[in-house]
Amino acid sequence: MHFKSLEIVGFKSFLNKTKLKFEPGVTAVVGPNGCGKSNVVDAIKWVLGEQSAKSMRSSAMQDVIFNGTENQEPVNVSEVSLTLSNTDRMLAVDYDEVTISRRLYRSGESEYLLNKTPVRLTDVRNLLMGTGIGTSSYSIVEQGRMDMIISSKPEERRYIFEEASGITRYKSKKREALLKLERTQENLVRINDIIREVERQINSIERKARKAERYKARYEELKGLDVKFAYKKYKDLSDNDDLLAGENDELKKELEFLGLELEKSSEHLAHLRKEYNDIFEGLQSLQEERSRILSDFDRNKHVIELNEERSGELIKYVDRLNWEIEDISQRKEKLGNRLEVAEAKFLEINGKRQKKSDEFKKSDEDAKKLTSSIETYKHDLNFNREKTVDMLSEETKSKNRLIKIDADIQNTEMRKRRLILESANVKSEKEKRAEELKDITLNKENMEKGLEQKKGYFEEFSREYITKQQKLNVLMDEKNNKEKHLNEISLRRRFLEKLLIEREGIGESVKKIMKQAESGFSQFSGVAGILSELVNLDEKYEESMKFVLGEASQALIVDTYQTVEMVNEYLKENSMASVSFIVLDELKTIAGGNSVYEEYGG
């Protein structure tokens, strides 16, 4: 066995696919520094399963993947394949050539292939064990490794010789066998502990077994009592069937009566509701009319108060104008008197002037004085004239104001009369509205009393309606429960009748005997029935009953052993299978001293 070839792709400095061929014998890798000698050796060690990144002269295993250069892009996978010659079948596979491949992806995933078949690293190591081929075996001697082998300790050299002699594989198998033997010894110790524990529990289990036997005996006794109780319960339910049917008819009649009462109550309640709504609407209308009348009354009352206040102010204004007119008249009379005095004085002065004019020539001083007096009197006369004109103008204005005041007084009087008339009308309307309001209030009180009475009737009918509705609900629930119970009994009865007719699940021998007994054959007159047909339980207990009784559920219940002998003789004559029996004479009698057979009607 020897290396035949090495194929490298994407491993360290080998970007492109590179294939190296080896001839038998020793192969030396030589070359200048940096040409990739160590990378070739690393590739061989790596494909043989080297797991140490430090041995690969890297910080991480992904560093063995080609990382790219300035001109080449990095790759994402590295693969190395080593082909071995196996013509001597030193490797435990039936191939002349064995190719071991290893791939590593940049994501960290790694896989091993053996002749392109995925395998585990353990499989590769087991295959090469004892062949001298491995990551640290003597088949690969690196630079400086020879000196290390020569100077190594005897134990280390012994490993190399054992690998070369091929006993490493057996030593590995020996270690595995010793480990298995050690685990087996531990299991034996555990088994002994378990045996001792089981032996300690045997006494307890035996006591439990004796208790179970006693329980089984008591259980068989209880089973017999349950059979008798079930038969009596079935008989009672059969008797209650007709009673429940009668009660159901009475409930239906009572339900119909309550339904009619409920319809009448509903109609009466609807009538009361309509009457209540009509009264309530009428009351609302009267309240709105009352509010409108009160609003009109308040508004008219306010207008009257404003008019009375304005009339008082106008009367005061007229009185003030009358006083002013009287004052102006007095002043006019005084001015007239003064004007007459002034005119008389003017005439007197004018006479004197004429008189003095004759004397003017006699004395300049007298003339000047006279002229001055005349001018003074002229000035007084002009002043009096202007004053008279002003007074006349004032008199005219006063007359106009008086005319206007008279017109205002007349308008005010007319408005006052109109307001008095309106006030009388409002008062009359107020009295009328007060009477209407009184009638409305009285009517409202009567309607409220009627409404309260109707409310009382309504509440009484509501309570009666609720009571009847609750009673109806109770009766409906009771009716539904009765109907449900009756349906369950009817279904159970039909099911039992069907079973009695068809007897599904019953053996042919038992069916034949029951058919003969029901047909009136005298030799089968002592056959009372089948145990499973005489036991009536709730559905949830039926499966438990079948499990407890087992095949005994098809046992025939007979009165005496004589009937048993006749039935067995009939079965033998007709070559039919045997059946089980329960003999009533052998059962204990119930209270009263009668046998079970006699008590339940044979």
* Per-residue pLDDT reduced to its tens digit, 384-394: 666 666 666 76
Domain regions of the chain by residue span: 3-166, 503-599
**Which residue shows structure tokens 């007359």?**
399
Given a cut of 50, whether residue 599 has pLDDT beyond it is: no
Confidence of residue 86 (pLDDT cuts 50, 70, 90): confident
Cα distance between residue 110 and residue 47, in whole Å: 11
State pTM to two decimals. 0.31
pLDDT > 70: percent of the chain:
55
Strands (E), 30-168: 77-85, 97-105, 110-114, 117-119
Q: What are phi and psi of 557, to 5 degrees?
A: -95, 120
Confidence of residue 151 (pLDDT cuts 50, 70, 90): low
Tell me the per-residue pLDDT of 329-385, one tens digit each, with 9 for 90 and over: 676 676 666 666 656 665 666 666 566 556 545 655 654 665 565 566 556 656 666
Cα distance between residue 210 and residue 208, in whole Å: 5
Residue 588: per-residue pLDDT:
42
CATH architecture of residue range(s) 503-599 = Up-down Bundle (1.20)
Given a cut of 90, whether residue 197 has pLDDT beyond it is: no
**Tokens read off for 9:** 């792709």
Closest CA to 310 of 428, 422, 408: 408
Cα distance between residue 547 and residue 219, in whole Å: 13
Measured between alpha carbons, how far is residue 547 from residues 74, 399, 418 in Å?
76, 137, 114
Cα distance between residue 69 and residue 427, in whole Å: 121
Three-state SS at 580: coil
526 Rama sector, left if φ>0, alpha if ψ -120 to 50, beta otherwise: alpha
CATH 3.40.50.300 is held by the domain 3-166 = yes
Tell me the per-residue pLDDT of 25-53, one tens digit each, with 9 for 90 and over: 777 778 888 787 788 888 888 888 888 88
Tell me the per-residue pLDDT of 88-128, one tens digit each, with 9 for 90 and over: 888 878 888 999 999 999 988 999 999 989 999 888 888 87
DSSP string, 57-85: TSSSGGGGB----SSS---SEEEEEEEEE
- Alpha helix (H) ranges present in 503-560? 508-518, 531-534, 539-549
Confidence of residue 507 (pLDDT cuts 50, 70, 90): confident
